[in-house]
């Protein structure tokens, strides 16, 4: 009698041995259980360490500019302003008119505001108890329409090219954003361990995004295992080098603002959480690609053993590492571009610039993320090659010809 097999590993014509299939299922279930345990342990409860009112965020209403002109200011006398009249179009005060004044430069009387008739804007509303002349202030432009149009174009293109897989990828994207907005951010604001929250959130996102986009199969499970293993490496290195480099997490203006209102937040931990979440997007791309590469190489040469298959797939991974690492470096560089422009004119030496915390944070983030990325290639490739060659070996040893040889 031949050995029992599970469903096919990667390809329909290569079944996976039951022990290997069970091992993959057990590993995936374990990740799911740990993620759910983290969800329970870190689920946001109680009051946030900081309230939105602390930043001065009040009620906001929509409005439309109905008049914009240069006219004398209401105060002080003998000055000219860019006077903008805005009709409130939302909220209980809809129909009110807000008059905003922007002082003009006496020597260069060009309107300071860019508001024009018909512009859709957002206003801060201080409430009905405030005098009408100071109740409203300009907050921002309304951007719902262009963002919705752009999102629709993106979704249509993804579905048109990816079809069902594209639709499922969009569902995974929505699920990922839901995890971040409903769990990660509220948990961080309530003082939960940033690294624990980030790892839990990243595991949930990986589970949802990978299985929704690529299906419930062994190929996806191998990619998931490679992704989670690499995230653990990234988190471990981040913790070690954040301490070793004495990073405080207070290098940005946003962190300083948070410190003033929520001094109990773990700012170094927030830095590490950003590294973990930021690395995930590149990692799942690399791991899925490596699993696919192993599968296609074995399809082209079913006789290839583990060592040959691994070596060939890793050669493919080297090119991917080079491009993905460059992408990661450029992403962090782009995020810090205004800072780099300022530092480039500071007159400091290169060593002083690099070791300053504002830049050292970006260096640690980039290098730690890149190390996790590089590690994902041999980890995922090795696991995929082992699974697929075990299936091939088992298929050969249980074929009729092999059974006749054993007799």
In a domain, 254, yes or no: yes
Q: Are 189 and 48 in contact (CB under 8 A)?
A: yes
Q: Are residues 99 and 15 in the same domain?
A: no
Lowest mean pLDDT among 53-57, 316-320, 343-347: 53-57
pLDDT per position as a tens digit, 346-374: 777 777 777 788 888 888 888 898 899 89
pLDDT given at position 391: 61
At residue 15, φ and ψ (nearest 5 deg) are -75, 150
Please state, in angstroms and rounded to a whole number, the distance separating the CA atoms of residues 196 and 73: 55
The pLDDT score that the predictor gives to residue 405 is 26
Place of tokens 């500071």: 346
Q: Is 63 found in the same domain as 40?
A: no
The pLDDT assigned to 47 comes to 78
401: pLDDT strictly greater than 50: no
- One domain, residues 237 and 121: no
| Strand bridging mode 15-17 / 5-8 | antiparallel
Question: Is the model more confident about 43 or about 343?
Answer: 43
Mean pLDDT, the chain, rounded, equals 83
The enclosing H or E element of 198 equals helix 194-214
Examine the domain organization and report whether 177 and 307 are in the same domain.
yes
Residue 336 lies in a domain: yes
Q: If you average pLDDT over residues 246-255, what whole number do you get?
A: 83
Within a domain: residue 252?
yes
The reply to whether 378 and 304 lie within a common domain is: yes
Radius of gyration of the chain (CA): 28
Q: What is the pLDDT of residue 7?
A: 43
Q: Please, are residues 208 and 172 in contact by the beta-carbon 8 Å criterion?
A: yes
| Residue 87 lies in domain | 59-125
71 in a structural domain: yes
**3-class secondary structure for 303-360?**
CCCHHHHHHHHHHHHHHHHHHHHHHHHHHHHHHCHHHHHHHHCCCCCHHHHHHCHHHH
Residue 131 lies in a domain: no
| Residue 404 forms part of a structural domain | no
The two three-digit tokens of residue 181, written as one number: 């907005």
Q: How many degrees, rounded to 5, is the angle at CA 20 between CA 15 and CA 23?
A: 140
Average pLDDT over residues 280-290: 88
Positive or negative, the CA dihedral 301, 305, 308, 312 is positive
Q: Are residues 72 and 34 in the same domain?
A: no
User: Is-above-0.85 flag for pTM?
Assistant: no
Angle, helices 337-344 vs 357-397, to 10°: value is: 140
pLDDT tens profile 169-223: 899 999 999 999 999 999 998 889 999 999 999 999 999 999 998 888 889 999 9
Same domain (yes/no): 189, 312: yes
Clarify whether residues 258 and 376 are in a common domain. Answer: yes
Q: Contact 394/8 with Cβ under 8 angstroms?
A: no
Rounded Cα distance, 329 and 366, in Å: 6
d(CA 265, CA 288): 35
- 183-187-193-199 Cα dihedral, nearest 10 degrees: 10
- 254 and 178: one domain? yes
Overall number of domains in the chain: 2
Within a domain: residue 16?
yes
271 in any annotated domain:
yes
Alpha-helical (H) ranges within 43-143 are 132-135
Q: What is the DSSP string of 158-195?
A: HHHHHHHHHHHHHHHHHHHHHHIIIIIHHHHHTT--HH
3-state secondary structure 218-254: HHHHHHHHHHHHHHHHHHHHHHHHHHHCCCCCCCCHH
Tokens 């009620």, located at residue? 59
Closest of 224, 172, 281 to residue 26, by C-alpha: 224
- Residue 67 sits in the same domain as residue 14: no
Closest to 88 in 3D by CA, of 66, 56, 115 = 66
Say if residue 204 is in the same domain as residue 348: yes
- Identify the weakest region by mean pLDDT among 53-57, 69-73, 280-284: 53-57
Same domain, 72 and 28: no
Confidence of residue 36 (pLDDT cuts 50, 70, 90): very high
Segment 8-19, tens digit of pLDDT: 556 545 556 778
Both tokens assigned to 141 = 């432009």
Q: What is the mean pLDDT of residues 286-308?
A: 91
- Interstrand relation of 120-125 and 59-72 (parallel, antiparallel or unpaired): antiparallel
């Amino acid at each position: 009698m031949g050995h029992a097999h599970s469903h096919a590993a990667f390809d329909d014509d290569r079944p996976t041995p039951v022990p290997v299939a069970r091992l993959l299922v057990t590993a995936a279930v374990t990740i799911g259980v740990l993620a759910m345990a983290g969800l329970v342990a870190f689920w946001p409860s109680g009051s946030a360490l900081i309230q939105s009112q602390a930043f001065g965020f009040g009620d906001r209403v929509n409005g439309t500019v109905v008049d914009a002109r240069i006219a004398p200011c209401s105060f002080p006398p003998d000055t000219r302003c860019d006077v903008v009249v805005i009709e409130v179009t939302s909220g209980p005060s809809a129909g009110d008119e807000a008059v905003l004044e922007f002082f003009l430069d006496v020597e260069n009387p060009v309107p300071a505001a860019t508001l024009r008739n018909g512009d859709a804007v957002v206003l801060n509303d201080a409430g009905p108890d405030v005098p009408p002349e100071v109740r409203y202030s300009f907050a921002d432009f309304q951007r719902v329409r262009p963002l919705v149009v752009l999102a629709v174009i993106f979704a249509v293109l993804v579905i048109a090219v990816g079809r069902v897989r594209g639709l499922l990828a969009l569902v995974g994207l929505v699920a990922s954003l839901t995890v971040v907005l409903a769990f990660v951010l509220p948990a961080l604001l309530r003082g939960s361990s940033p690294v624990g929250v980030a790892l839990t959130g990243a595991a949930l996102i990986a589970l949802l995004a990978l299985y929704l986009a690529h299906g419930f199969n062994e190929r996806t499970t191998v990619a998931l295992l490679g992704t989670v293993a690499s995230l653990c490496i990234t988190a471990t290195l981040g913790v070690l080098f954040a301490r070793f480099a004495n990073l405080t997490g207070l290098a940005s203006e946003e962190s300083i603002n948070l410190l003033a209102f929520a001094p109990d937040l773990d700012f170094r931990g927030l830095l590490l959480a950003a590294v973990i979440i930021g690395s995930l997007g590149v990692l799942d791309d690399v791991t899925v690609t490596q699993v696919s590469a192993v599968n296609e190489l074995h399809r082209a040469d079913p006789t290839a053993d583990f060592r040959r298959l691994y070596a060939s797939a890793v050669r493919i991974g080297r090119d991917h590492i080079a491009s993905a690492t460059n992408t990661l470096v450029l992403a962090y560089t782009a995020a810090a571009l205004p800072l780099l422009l300022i530092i480039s004119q500071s007159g400091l030496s290169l060593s002083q610039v690099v070791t300053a915390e504002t830049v050292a944070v970006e260096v640690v983030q980039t290098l730690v993320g890149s190390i996790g990325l590089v590690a994902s290639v041999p980890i995922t490739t090795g696991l995929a090659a082992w699974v697929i060659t075990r299936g091939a070996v088992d298929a050969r040893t249980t074929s009729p010809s092999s059974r006749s040889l054993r007799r």
